[in-house]
Structure 1
Amino acid sequence: MGGMSAACMLAKDGYKVTVLEAAHVPGGCSSSYKRKGYVFESGATTLIGFDENQPLRTLEDELGINLSKKEINPSMTVHLDGDQIIRYKNRQAWIDEAARAFPEIPRSNQKAFWDEAFHVADTVWKVSKKNVYFPPKRATDWLQLAINNNPADAPVLRYAFQSMASIMKKYEVDSPNFRRFVDEQLMITAQAKAEDTPFIFGAAGITYTCYSNYYVPGGLLNMVRELEEKLLKSGGALKTRRKVVKLSEHDRGGYVAETENGEAYYAPKVVSNIPIWNMKEISTGELGLYYGKESERYDEAWGAFTMGVVTGDAYDPHLTLHHQLHLPAGEHMPETEAGSVFVSMSARGDTSRAPEGERTLNISCHTPARKWFEMGDAYEPTKERVQAFILDFLRKNFPGFEESGVKLAFPATPVTWQNWVYRKDGRVGGIPQSMSRSLVDWTQTEAPFPGLYQCGDTSYPGQGIPGVTLGGINVYYRIKKNDS
């Protein structure tokens, strides 16, 4: 989505844009794939970002389009120790639900905590939209920050230096169960837990269900296809099965991208939408040295153990489409270190993804990535053991799963992810949040080489469809500014 967002906006303004896509369809981790007649999401399954000040609303407005989607409300249920906690969109309803689910915390404390989280999240979205040259690279960028921003929003900056855990303690909501809840919600959105996540990012991460959440009938690929159509109508080109294996600087300026099938493309400007770890492998000369250093700075990231599952449809008609199911306190999924499982379902009646009376489920949990490449002969038995554990766990804990019956199930590990979407070591979800990284200490959208730009989940502002879309929008504005 980051690369397609930048490509569409540049093509709209008359730039001659060619997108080189390694896979047979665009979208990367924001796409869909078919297997045995069913459609599954290839990575991300939740979709927000269309509300005021949010990136996908900006993208629609800039391109003059309305991406196909249906709002889902409520969007998620969290299953914790036998309780079903509904993540209502309505903020007051959610505070009431949080007070019910965690009775050990006074309701007044819950309200104060969530009101502050909503305020910070709203401010972050508003400020992010205005500051398209963030993180600042030049003196003029710092000046633009001073001009663009309302001094009344400045107090929110203090939360860049305070963890989610510290704010929970401040508002006296840090009970063991509520900490478990927040930790696992943050693992979805920040790839880190409360102790490691700055509140300025964590606030948006734990409140995303209180913004408009959407479902794309037929799968997220349909949304990406609409962007592809816009790109082509604007004179751009999309070439699939063009995996770039080498990027080098041209003697007369600009860059040459060489593909796996022997093609070479020259361009005065290049926008990379692949992870910095992949850029290290394909870049030559000074480019390779730069991305090597960036990769060393951010060497830790999660992989995912995922499953595509087809079941019947004996589920309650009021069941939400997204679910996070906690393991008992202190327990983890075997081989993964995960404390929860995330399940996303196709909508009932979406026959473009599954026949009537059946549902497709995307199931995922975090796992260390590199260990799966080092298992040798133990790889297949380990994969089967984790799959069996997850299916058994869902039969016991996910309402309607056992009654619906499993018709098809197949697992995927970081090894699979590296093969599918070509991400180094199968690392997905971007770089985990960290209290040791400052607000401006991110891989820049503009590399220190003329005409080279970076978007995607390993550069600012990070993971998630809204995050990478914002990164693509910011690249567009960087290019326009530099060309002017």
Structure 2
Amino acid sequence: MLARAGREVLVCESHSVPGGVAHSFSRNGYEFDSGPSLLSGCSTPVSANPLRLVLNALGEDCDWATYPGWRMVTPDGDFEFKVGDEAHWEDIVARFGTRKAVEEWRALMAITKPLGEISKSIPAAALRGDLGAVQTLQRFFPRLPALLLNGPKFQAPFSDLLRDAGVQDTFLKKWMDYICFVLQALPADTHPSAPVAYMISDMYEPGAFLDYPRGGMGALISALERGVTKHRGRIRYNAHVEEIVAARGKAKGVRLRSGERILAREAVISNASVWDTAKLLPEGTRWPMPKPVECGSFMHLHLGLNAKGLPNDMPLHYSVIRDWKEPIDATGNVVIISVPSVVNPSLAPAGRHCLHAYLAATEPYELWQGMKRGSSEYEAFKRERAAPLFEAVEKAVPGACENIELELIGSPLTHARFNRRHRGTYGPFMPSSAGMLPGPSTPVDGLLCCGDSTFPGIGVPAAVASGCAAANVLLSVEEHLEATLLEAPKNLREHFPIAFADPVVACWCAYARLCLRWGTAGPRR
């Protein structure tokens, strides 16, 4: 977004390829996603998803495959979860729940959906951390009172909303625990309500669907990469930052592992975790950072499968629950599986499938400390700890384990090494009782932070929103509006119609666009 606004931008990428935890990699003709692959609100230009808003502003896109949902594999029975089909969902609730379960679900939706709509009504692209927010948010003022009035509900644990809705049904409670966990690795009694309300509003919106970029997640990363370079930004690969150079309390630039020093004219932006950013700063420059809870790490399984004899009705995604009676965040209890070659056959050789399974945020790093990668002990322990992944894959896709032609197992040490993550952690989280994660600004002048250690936290849309927030700190109000809001008036007008209902605001927007067209300065800070 800074490159789009005309800033001189240099991205120092530690690896030889971009994308971080969302990058793709190739092995023996298979194209694998390293991490997230479940997206929504990306294939349509009218969306509240921050990622879609950024792609719109950059003039970039992917070729998107759309699909209806994912398959749940549970001890009580399997079912298809279809987003955007509430009638189908209520049939599932009636099947697995008690006699009053559907009634309780409707009561929960009556409370949750309005909160979700409020949280979606102000796009991440409009947010700023200074008084310029008065201008960038003025068109959304009609929604601000509702947002402020419901502030305590947004920060409260989602279990409070379950209580307020009178939800007693065990299946519904387990389902919402699962939704909270896959969103940000927290159960419902700890997870803040705001992101859950947003997700529910999104998933249960009539006609909703999920998106997957053809070519894999690497295709999405390529679109963002083009968005940087087409606006004269630069990306340097194999440029690992060893230190943030600072003097007199101000960040001056970075020192690379090669010894090269790069000075910043305006600011240094770190998207490393809170723990890794602290390690990059000189001793005298560190400040008392917030103390978020450290999520556990991952076990990963990437498989190349012969498709012969495998089910013909495989969905793109599965969630496998080992035991509903255990806490949802118990080690090995939830396995997420994706088979993207189902919708994008070119990701695997002919007659083959690529499969990615992982245990998210539940693998203790302590078990792996001191192990030497590549040792026989390490390899044996990897296979032992990956056993729940193989079991889940076989449950979800019968016959898969007999058809393995390529097998890659990743551990917390893999995660720490390739993602440059402190202890291979999934990320930080702040329980609802501990307040919110910090914004992009820091006590070190010239240093901004973004990524999952800043608000809104873990997840692809959240990370994108945090990047927008960091960019907006450095942009004037005029640049902010040009780069993010006024470039996509149709998008915003269709998705946030109430924001454009005020004639005064409409006149202001028209004036700003005319200023841009005539090349005059326009409204400034």
When normalised by structure 2's length, the TM-score is: 0.80
Displacement after TM superposition at 1:101 (Å) = 3.9
Shift of 1:130: 6.4
In the alignment, which residue of structure 1 is the partner of 2:449?
454
Aligned residue among 89, 96, 101 for 2:83: 89
Q: Shift of the alpha carbon at 1:251? A: 6.5
**Equivalent runs, 1:61-460 vs 2, <5 Å:** 61-72=56-67, 74-104=68-98, 105-129=100-124, 131-133=126-128, 148-149=140-141, 150=143, 151-206=145-200, 209-210=203-204, 211-250=208-247, 254-268=251-265, 269-287=267-285, 289-290=286-287, 293-294=288-289, 297-313=291-307, 314-331=309-326, 337-348=331-342, 350-366=344-360, 367-374=362-369, 376=371, 379-395=378-394, 397-402=395-400, 405-428=403-426, 430-438=427-435, 441-460=436-455
Q: Structure 2: give runs of 5+ residues left out of the alignment.
A: 480-524
The share of aligned pairs that are identical, in percent, is: 19
Residue 231 and residue 402 in structure 1: after superposition, are their counterparts in 2 closer, same or farther (change >3 A)?
closer
| Separation (CA, whole Å) in 2 of partners of 1:208 and 1:426 | 30
Is the 2:24–2:34 contact (alpha carbons within 8 Å) kept by the matching residues of 1?
yes
> Shift of the alpha carbon at 1:403?
7.9
Paired residues, what number? 463
Confirm or deny: 8 A CA contact 2:415 2:424 kept in the other structure: yes
SS of residue in 2 equivalent to 1:127:
coil
Q: How far apart are the structure 1 equivalents of 2:202 and 2:73?
A: 18
> How many Å separate the matches in 2 of 1:130 and 1:469?
10
Q: Structure 1 251/169 Cα, relative in aligned 2: closer, same or farther at 3 Å?
A: closer
Q: What displacement does 1:161 show? A: 4.2
* CA 354–212 in structure 1, closer or farther in 2 if over 3 Å, else same: same
* Shift in Å, 1:286: 4.2
Q: Secondary structure at the match of 1:227?
A: helix
Deviations 1:135-163 (A, max 9, x none): x5x57768987984322444432313432
RMSD (CA atoms): 2.9
In the alignment, which residue of structure 2 is the partner of 1:60?
A: 55
Deviation for aligned residue 1:387: 2.0
CA distance 1:165–1:336, change in 2 (3 Å): closer
How many angstroms apart in 2 are the aligned matches of 1:139 and 1:94? Answer: 46
Once residues 80 and 382 of structure 1 are traced to their aligned partners in structure 2, the CA distance between those partners, rounded to angstroms, is 27
For residue 449 of structure 1, report the CA deviation from its aligned partner.
Answer: 2.7
**Cα distance between partner residues in 1 of 2:148 and 2:85:** 24
- 1:233 to partner: Cα distance: 1.8
Deviation at 1:308, TM superposition (A): 0.7
The 1:270/1:416 distance shift into structure 2, 3 A limit, reads same
**Distance apart, 1:352 and its partner CA:** 3.5
Does the CA-based 8 Å contact 1:71-1:215 persist in structure 2?
yes
| Unaligned residue ranges in structure 1 (runs of 5+) | 1-8
Q: Secondary structure at the match of 2:277?
A: helix
On the 8 A contact 2:155/2:192 being kept in 1, the answer is yes
Aligned partners of 1:153 and 1:301: how far apart in 2?
A: 29
Specify the alignment match of 2:38 in structure 1: 46
Q: Distance in 1 between matches of 2:111 and 2:249?
A: 53
Q: 1:77 deviation in Å?
A: 1.6
Task: String of CA shifts for 1:117-138, please: whole Å, max 9, x gaps.
Answer: 33222221223536512xx5x5
- Give CA-to-partner distance per residue, 1:361-418, whole Å, 9 cap, x none: 11111324431332648644332112234213432x2144448722222211111111
Q: 1:308–1:363: 8 Å Cα contact kept in structure 2? A: yes
TM-score scaled by length of structure 1: 0.87
Give the superposition deviation at 1:460.
Answer: 1.0
Cα 1:376–1:62 shift into 2, 3 Å = closer
- SS of the equivalent of 1:10 reads coil
Deviations 1:216-265 (A, max 9, x none): 12211111112212322211111011110100225696512111122211
Which sits farther off after the overlay, 181-190 or 155-164? 155-164
**Distance between the aligned counterparts of 1:32 and 1:336, measured in 2?**
28
